[in-house]
Amino acid sequence: MSSVDAVVTGAGGFIGGHLVGSLLAEGKSVRGIDVKPLDEWHQVHPDATSVQGDVSLLDTARSAVDGAAVVYNLAADMGGMGFIENNKAACMLSVLTSTHVLLAAKDAGVERYFYSSSACVYAAEHQTSPDVVALREEDAYPAMPEDGYGWEKLFSERMARHFLEDYGVQTRVARYHNVYGPEGTWTGGREKAPAAICRKIATAAITGEHSIDIWGDGLQTRTFMYIDDCVHGTRTITDGDDPNPVNLGSDELVTINEMVDIVEKIAGITVARNHDLTAPQGVRGRSSDNTEMIRRYGWAPSITLTDGLEHTYRWVYDEVKKSLAG
């Protein structure tokens, strides 16, 4: 293939679509690849070269990164807590993608390789209370990450490190903490909490049935990073000088119930809450310690949850309305 400034694997996904748009906006040439057919991509940018292909296959990975200066590897089989708790084997199989894209990048002589890891690499013992102490990068070891998905991410982080040590590949790694925003998955089982709550409340607002289900007691805590902060942070880390994994997430800790409060206020309604204590809940509390991000780059995610949810809810509301009109 011809040379290109950047290749984005997982370009048909939520974060990948926004990242492609950001790169194009700065005049970069971009090749995006995703295993999904193009009509299932979250966004298809006409100024990018968009390819349907499975980069878990080495030959496809080699073709995808050929001629690339920078590779952003976002491709993975993943979703919200309901998906990753019930699809551990499928999540582990993403190791084929992580391995083959990194190997192809090495052989192609790319200048930079970015790997999107996850806060799921952190041991559950650090996340047992809603009043959780924010997770520091060193808390990933001794290792006992989220079963399935977290193990694959931690292994692939180590592989990136050793490809730098042994082969000189300039690898960069970010541990994403709960990314949300418009153009994301909002239904179907792979959606994360912000989109799911926006969908449920939008449906209540449209139908007049003001009752929603909430997974767990709603007291579990998380931080949620708006997509614009995620893209900015991803590019900042990729262009930076430090190869060690770093948290990329908001440090604005909220309970799930508090997030419902925010979306209710945006929607202008209140809903009855039915707490399902049998549903997947994940860890009890998780927050990002951004000390290292600020030290290395003088920046950290800062878009408030209220502002981000305002944009997200409006987008999800329109999608729900179209779906119900069906």
DSSP structure string for 218-235: S--EE--EEHHHHHHHHH
- In angstroms, the Cα distances linking 241 to 5, 119, 244, 279 are 19, 22, 9, 42
CB 224 within 8 A of CB 178: yes
Q: Give the DSSP H or E segment for 154.
A: helix 149-167
> Which pLDDT score, from 0 to 100, does residue 78 have?
82
In whole angstroms, how large is the CA radius of gyration of the chain? 19
> Which pLDDT score, from 0 to 100, does residue 145 have?
92
Cα distance between residue 300 and residue 19, in whole Å: 17
Cα distance between residue 303 and residue 292, in whole Å: 18
Question: What is the mean pLDDT of each successive set of 10 residues along the chain, which is 326 residues long?
Answer: 92 98 98 98 98 98 98 91 87 96 98 97 82 89 92 98 98 97 94 95 96 94 97 98 98 96 98 92 87 98 98 98 91
> Which pLDDT score, from 0 to 100, does residue 1 have?
67
| 54 CB-near residues (< 8 Å, 6+ apart) | 35, 60
> Annotated catalytic residue: which of 149, 226, 313, 317?
149
CB 35 within 8 A of CB 11: no
For residue 94, list its beta bridge partners: none
> Which pLDDT score, from 0 to 100, does residue 11 have?
98
Q: Running DSSP on this structure, what letter comes out for residue 133? A: P
Nearest 5°: the CA angle 20, 25, 31 is 35
For residue 114, list its beta bridge partners: 72, 172
Token couple for 220: 């579990």
Annotated active-site residue 297? The verdict is: no
